[in-house]
Amino acid sequence: MMRDAVLAFSTQFEFQPVVENKENLKVTDSFVLTGMGGSHLNADLLLAVAPHTDIIIHRDYGLPLVSAEKAAKSLFIASSYSGNTEEVIEAYNEAKEKGYALAAIAVGGTLLELAKADGVPYVAIPDTGIQPRSALAFSFMALLSLTGKDAFLKETQSLRTIIDPADIEQAGKDLAAAMKDRVPLVYASRANETVAWNWKIKLNETGKIPAFYNVFPELNHNEMTGFDVVPTMKHLAAPFHVVLLEDGDDHPKVQQRMDVLATLYSKRGLPVTRLALDGNTRLEKIFRSLLLADWTAVHTAALYGLESEHVPMVEEFKKMIAS
């Protein structure tokens, strides 16, 4: 059950990733990661905590357009939780054909079979039966081990004794109740875009509701004008509930923009919830916020009488495109 997965999330920080076929691992500071859905969130998170990392995140079939020079110096990482994601398998095979340096992350499936047969370095994620979106710490730590980010790996593992998911559940339950019958709009700074994106994904997949996100300061130049509520369009703005993810480390001007927008939206009748990213380190802030998102999504699904773990529409879609 999804609730059990959230409660046990901190045990993922105990993971000691092992790079198999390590003798074939390309040592570089340039990376390309291919992944879909929850399987590219590890790279998104890496950029959030180490924004100067030279990594391209590819969420499509094939490979991204990169120069021959970039390709030659890069490690191409195929990331698929199940190991059977067709876009990732295609990217792996194309990179192999081109002779690029490869690595893989998965719990098993075709991807690990290929990596083992080809002598490609890989990290096997523990197969605990949880959903890909719930395995972020596993996949993040696997990526850190392949990219040589040992300091971040050690810091991530230290969160095991710092974060207790049970302490966060009530706040998520309260937020789910506050947003009942509304569509969440999750706003954050550009620096915390990955966090807002994860909130949206969790509310979609676990909460089973529409949810959207945007970032400051860009949204002040376009999206907010759609909520300048006047009588003729009041009904269009009525379903939304804004969630502001606030970070004391954000640019002061961004913090000011959040304050002002909260005032403007509230004046126009839009519900606004302001959530501070809480923690002593960047990683702690992010994981605490994402656990709050998990709990909010779990209790959102419960409020609508829905099962929170599985994604039947995704499975239906996969069957239709395979037929």
Per-residue model confidence as pLDDT tens digits over 133-162: 899 999 999 999 999 999 999 999 999 999
Say yes or no: 108 and 145 in one domain.
yes
Question: Which residue, 60, 31, 202, 45, is CA-closest to 139?
Answer: 45
Order of strands, sheet of 122-124, starting from the edge strand that comes earlier in the sequence: 54-58, 30-34, 75-79, 101-106, 122-124
Question: 237-283: per-residue pLDDT in tens?
Answer: 989 999 999 999 999 999 999 999 999 999 999 999 999 999 999 99
Say yes or no: 135 and 212 in one domain.
no
The last residue of one of the domains, among 161, 186, 210, is 161
Say yes or no: 224 and 186 in one domain.
yes
- Checking if the pLDDT of 322 tops 90, the result is no
Mean pLDDT (the chain) is: 96
Q: What is the pLDDT of residue 100?
A: 97
The last residue of one of the domains, among 93, 128, 161, is 161
Q: What is the pLDDT of residue 231?
A: 86
Kindly provide the residue ranges of all beta strands, DSSP E only, lying in 227-318, ordered along the sequence: 240-246, 272-276
* Residue 311 domain-assigned (yes or no): no
Structure tokens at 129: 């039966």
Q: What is the pLDDT of residue 296?
A: 98
In percent, how much of the chain has pLDDT > 70?
100
* Residue 310 domain-assigned (yes or no): no
* Residue 2 domain-assigned (yes or no): no
We report the CATH number of the domain holding residue 97 as 3.40.50.10490
> What value does the mean pLDDT take over residues 205-227?
97
Kindly provide the residue ranges of all beta strands, DSSP E only, lying in the chain, ordered along the sequence: 30-34, 54-58, 75-79, 101-106, 122-124, 183-189, 212-216, 240-246, 272-276
Say yes or no: 141 and 27 in one domain.
yes
The last residue of one of the domains, among 138, 161, 184, is 161
* pLDDT-derived band at 19, boundaries 50, 70, 90: very high
* Residue 321 domain-assigned (yes or no): no
**Selected catalytic residue, list 98, 154, 253, 318:** 318
* pLDDT-derived band at 166, boundaries 50, 70, 90: very high
Say yes or no: 22 and 135 in one domain.
yes
Q: What is the pLDDT of residue 158?
A: 97
Say yes or no: 76 and 12 in one domain.
yes
Question: 92-131: per-residue pLDDT in tens?
Answer: 999 999 999 999 999 999 999 999 999 999 999 999 999 8
* pLDDT-derived band at 6, boundaries 50, 70, 90: very high
- Total domains in the fold of the chain: 2
Distances (CA, A) of 322 to 90, 240, 249, 305: 15, 36, 46, 30
Say yes or no: 18 and 42 in one domain.
yes
- Checking if the pLDDT of 230 tops 90, the result is no
Q: What is the pLDDT of residue 25?
A: 97
> What value does the mean pLDDT take over residues 160-187?
98
Q: What is the pLDDT of residue 279?
A: 96
Q: What is the pLDDT of residue 311?
A: 87
Say yes or no: 134 and 187 in one domain.
no
Residue 123 has φ and ψ, to the nearest 5°, of: -120, 125
- Checking if the pLDDT of 1 tops 90, the result is no
**Structural domain that includes position 88:** 7-161
* Residue 318 domain-assigned (yes or no): no
One-letter identity of residue 176: A
Say yes or no: 105 and 211 in one domain.
no
Least confident of 95-109, 157-171, 299-313: 299-313
Alpha-carbon Rg for the chain, nearest whole angstrom, is 20
Say yes or no: 172 and 156 in one domain.
no
- Checking if the pLDDT of 310 tops 90, the result is no
Q: What is the dihedral of CA 196, 198, 201, 206, to 10 degrees?
A: -120
* Residue 106 domain-assigned (yes or no): yes
* Residue 317 domain-assigned (yes or no): no
Residue 205 annotated in active site: yes
Say yes or no: 150 and 183 in one domain.
no
Taking each continuous run of H as one helix and of E as one strand, the counts in the chain are 13, 9
**Selected catalytic residue, list 20, 193, 205, 284:** 205
One-letter identity of residue 177: A
Say yes or no: 46 and 190 in one domain.
no
Distances (CA, A) of 267 to 200, 228, 255, 262: 25, 10, 19, 9
> What value does the mean pLDDT take over residues 24-49?
95
Beta bridge partners of residue 214, listed in sequence order? 187
Cβ-count burial 108-132 (b if 16+ within 10 Å, e if not):
ebbbbebbeeeebbbbbbeeeebbb
Question: Which residue, 296, 286, 303, is CA-closest to 46?
Answer: 286
* Residue 313 domain-assigned (yes or no): no
In percent, how much of the chain has pLDDT > 90?
90
Q: What is the pLDDT of residue 229?
A: 85
Question: Which residue, 52, 120, 123, is CA-closest to 92?
Answer: 120
**Selected catalytic residue, list 52, 97, 221, 319:** 221
Residue 318 annotated in active site: yes
Question: Which residue, 71, 53, 54, is CA-closest to 62?
Answer: 71
Residues 6+ apart with CB under 8 A from 323: none
- Checking if the pLDDT of 47 tops 90, the result is yes
> What value does the mean pLDDT take over residues 60-76?
94
